[in-house]
Amino acid sequence: MTLLSIQHIQKTYQLADKQTLPVLNDITATFDAGEFVSIVGESGGGKSTLMNIIAGLDSQYTGDVIVNERPLRKMSERQLDQYRRENIGFIFQSFNSISHLTVLENVLVSLEMTSLPHKQQVARAMSLLKQVGLSSRSKAYPRQLSGGQKQRVAIARALASDPEIIIADEPTGALDEQNTQEILHLLDQIAASGKLVIAVTHSQIVADHGTRVIHLNHGQLVHDQTLRQVAGSKRAASALPTRKLSFRATFQMALKHMQRNFGTNLLITLGGAVGIFSVVLMLALGRGVGGYIRHEISGNLNPTTVEVTHKVKDGNTAAIQMSSHDITKLSGISHVTRVEKGYFMPSVQLQYHGRNVTTSYSQTYNKTFLSKNLTHGKNPTGLNEIMLSQDIAKKYTKDAQNLLGKNVTLYVNVTDAHQKPALLKQRVKVVGLTKSSNTAVMSWQTLAHTAQAQGINLKPTFLAVTVAKLSQVKAFQSQVKKANYNLTGVGSYIDTINQYVNLASYVLAGIAAISLLVSAIMIIVVLYISVGTRTKEIGILRALGVRKGDIRSLFVSEALILGILYSVIGLLLAEGLALIINSSAQSFIHFNIVQVAPEFVLFALVTGIIISLIAAWAPARKAAKLDPVEALSYE
Ligand SMILES: Nc1ncnc2c1ncn2[C@@H]1O[C@H](COP(=O)(O)OP(=O)(O)OP(=O)(O)O)[C@@H](O)[C@H]1O
Ligand SMILES: [Mg+2]
């Protein structure tokens, strides 16, 4: 049984402008295990082309290549990958080592696709390197090696998976005589061990060394000469069974490439991190600002309490009074927890030490009053207590606080239940001072009791209605309006405020989305360009039998690592800045204005990774689609 047979191989390159270049013309030959065949011929004669065809790298030819009775033409792409992994060891004309991998790692690429356990892979790689005399340079990078040393790395790699056929394209082309002899000796040993060695050469020394010489001339096989008989074609044991590149190996390769291309990856990481950082920061700021505004509203005003009055037509003062019927009606609305009576006073007169001061519009105390505005003392919740605005107090004394605890006489013009005007008079104690201007505030009870004592029946002119939660205010308000009442107080415009707050966070989120988009595009571009610079590496991997899918995984792994990296860095930056902003914000607004919520962290991580995967998709596809022969000849 012949190991390898090539039958009527014809190859024509299609050049640009529909021109064609015939290179191989009807080449037929058979080869057996144990042979060391030299192929000689003029430069440009098609030797490398023929080797690519035998190695299953090039499928654009007519005729057939039959290995162990299996025609390559019938093989699927995956079977061809497997064929390259298991049956072929290729020593390229240009050494084709992967520059960012060490000598050992270069040899390991082939072994990582075998079923050997990792430890044995390393052991075998080391023993192969020892065989080619490079065990001391296993940690060196290809650029640190001489031409002959690189050639020997290529030989060690070609032997790694113990293939039946070793193809060596100019294995000694760059070597001096001493090195040539060493390599030839190696190839001799390989052939003697029961493998087929096909070596392309211009060197007479090499040609003389083999067991057979084939001459190619103008694309034709012109001479096939056996130099010495192969002693009994004993077949070597079958090659190491192989599999696709393991995930671990792919991931490690990706990691190594990233380490060695630190600059590019730093750029991508920074770009991505800035994108993630700004998204998180904007979202957190939106949340913080919204929270701050709501905090301010509910901390200083009381949006859950609303003042309710009748809708009054001009001048009809009778209609202004709230009856017990109104109280029952309002108490019945859902979510209402409390209804307080209140009274509007066009003016209030105060007398202290014989001096009169008149306030402008005032009203009785209720829950809508801003606790923030109380500067001294307490709210006038008790009977016969009064709270004055600072400006009113200052009309009596230079230091408003002097008035606290003092008794003043209060005069209020009211209308009784029958629309009759009356003047209420009461001694009250100043218990609090407020920032608001030109006002005096006392409780409804104070007013009502005073009226009662003077035989006047006083009806409230508004009701302060409280609901349990801020979220219920809106529903409550529409109910009140439906019942044909009027609303005043902060609670009545809380909804508008909420809209503005939401608008602000949408705008911030929009800015964030744009910055994320920009960094996503940048990442895509950088990854896409990086495929271009790695064309050769991809060609080498494909030639070694790495499948398209594995090439794709390689790029996806890199993108994934980058995605996780920049997302985490972006998050850390955002958290860091949040800490700084918040600590300085605390000193003047007493609030964490940047709030990084756990869902933002999750969102950032997921988005970052998704972007990196999207960014990897096109380059990974492009890389996997590269034609191995073209990729290999890429400069
Ligand atoms: N991808 C390609 N597209 C078009 N023409 C090609 C391509 N590859 C090789 N050729 C041409 O095919 C011919 C044979 O090339 P090949 O590399 O097989 O020669 P060779 O015998 O290996 O030469 P050398 O001894 O210089 O290595 C050359 O004329 C070359 O220019
Ligand atoms: Mg060549």
Each residue of 7-37: pLDDT tens digit? 999 999 988 888 899 999 999 999 999 999 9
- Give 60 Cα–ligand 2 centroid separation in angstroms: 17
Overall average pLDDT of the 166-172 stretch: 88
Higher pLDDT, 490 or 102: 102
* Interval 436-475: pLDDT, tens: 888 999 999 999 999 999 999 999 999 999 988 877 887 8
pLDDT at 317: 54
* Interval 58-106: pLDDT, tens: 989 999 999 999 999 999 999 999 999 889 999 987 778 888 899 999 9
Of 11, 49, 217, the residue with max ligand 1 atoms within 8 A of its CB, to mutate for a pocket test, comes to 49
Q: pTM (2 decimals)?
A: 0.68
The region of weakest confidence among 75-84, 274-283, 298-307, 404-413 is: 298-307
Which residue has the CA at smallest separation from atom 17 of ligand 1? 48
**Which atom of ligand 1 has the smallest separation from the CA of 52?**
18
Overall average pLDDT of the 468-491 stretch: 80
- Give 46 Cα–ligand 1 centroid separation in angstroms: 5
Is 178 a pocket residue for ligand 1 (Cβ < 6 Å)? Answer: no
Percent of the chain with pLDDT over 70: 95
Question: What is the average pLDDT value for the chain, to the nearest integer?
Answer: 87
pLDDT at 495: 67
- Do β-strands 165-169 and 88-91 pair in parallel, antiparallel, or remain unpaired? parallel
pLDDT at 357: 93
pLDDT over 80 at 146, yes or no: yes
Q: Grade residue 631 by pLDDT with cuts at 50, 70 and 90.
A: confident
pLDDT at 207: 87
pLDDT over 80 at 137, yes or no: yes
Of 21, 200, 220, 222, the residue with max ligand 1 atoms within 8 A of its CB, to mutate for a pocket test, comes to 21
Which residue has the CA at smallest separation from atom 22 of ligand 1? 48
User: Which ligand neighbours the alpha carbon of 41 most closely?
Assistant: 1
User: Which ligand neighbours the alpha carbon of 14 most closely?
Assistant: 1
Q: What is the maximal distance between C-alpha atoms in the chain?
A: 140
Of residues 83, 71, 72, the one with CA closest to residue 165: 83
pLDDT over 70 at 201, yes or no: yes
pLDDT at 425: 94
Higher pLDDT, 430 or 261: 430
Which residue has the CA at smallest separation from atom 2 of ligand 1? 13
The region of weakest confidence among 69-83, 102-116, 621-635 is: 621-635
Q: Grade residue 316 by pLDDT with cuts at 50, 70 and 90.
A: low
Of 12, 15, 19, 23, the residue with max ligand 1 atoms within 8 A of its CB, to mutate for a pocket test, comes to 23
DSSP letters, 330-398, are HHTSTTEEEEEEE-EES-EEEEETTEEEEESSEE---TTS-GGGEEEE----STTEEEEEHHHHHTT-S
Three-state SS at 448? helix
| CB under 5 Å of ion ligand 2: residues | 48, 93
pLDDT over 70 at 632, yes or no: yes
Overall average pLDDT of the 498-514 stretch: 82
pLDDT over 60 at 315, yes or no: no
Long-range contacts of 308-316 (CB under 8 A, 24+ apart): 308/462, 308/463, 308/464, 308/465, 308/480, 308/485, 308/486, 308/487, 309/461, 309/462, 309/463, 309/485, 309/486, 309/488, 310/485, 310/486, 311/484, 311/485, 311/486, 312/486
pLDDT over 80 at 563, yes or no: yes
- Do β-strands 374-377 and 336-342 pair in parallel, antiparallel, or remain unpaired? unpaired
pLDDT at 368: 80
Is 45 a pocket residue for ligand 1 (Cβ < 6 Å)? Answer: yes
- Give 48 Cα–ligand 1 centroid separation in angstroms: 7
Overall average pLDDT of the 364-369 stretch: 86
Q: Which two tokens mark 526?
A: 């950088």
- Give 50 Cα–ligand 1 centroid separation in angstroms: 10
Q: Grade residue 260 by pLDDT with cuts at 50, 70 and 90.
A: confident
- Give 44 Cα–ligand 2 centroid separation in angstroms: 7
User: Which ligand neighbours the alpha carbon of 168 most closely?
Assistant: 2
Strands (E) located in 59-193: 62-67, 70-71, 88-91, 165-169
Is 48 a pocket residue for ligand 1 (Cβ < 6 Å)? Answer: yes
**Which atom of ligand 1 has the smallest separation from the CA of 14?**
4
pLDDT at 249: 82
**Which atom of ligand 1 has the smallest separation from the CA of 47?**
21
Please name the residue ranges forming H helices in 534-597.
535-543, 548-589
**Which atom of ligand 1 has the smallest separation from the CA of 51?**
18
Overall average pLDDT of the 312-339 stretch: 81
Is 570 a pocket residue for ligand 1 (Cβ < 6 Å)? Answer: no
182 Cβ contact partners less than 8 Å away, ≥ 6 residues apart: 133
- Give 93 Cα–ligand 1 centroid separation in angstroms: 12
Overall average pLDDT of the 109-125 stretch: 90
Q: Grade residue 514 by pLDDT with cuts at 50, 70 and 90.
A: confident
The region of weakest confidence among 63-77, 402-416, 591-605, 619-633 is: 619-633
Query: Tell me, which fold does domain 4-243 have in CATH?
Result: Rossmann fold (3.40.50)
Of residues 176, 169, 139, the one with CA closest to residue 154: 169
Which residue has the CA at smallest separation from atom 16 of ligand 1? 46
pLDDT over 60 at 318, yes or no: no
Where in the chain are the domains? Answer: 4-243, 258-298+498-632, 305-468
Is 380 a pocket residue for ligand 1 (Cβ < 6 Å)? Answer: no
Q: Grade residue 577 by pLDDT with cuts at 50, 70 and 90.
A: very high
Which residue has the CA at smallest separation from atom 3 of ligand 1? 13
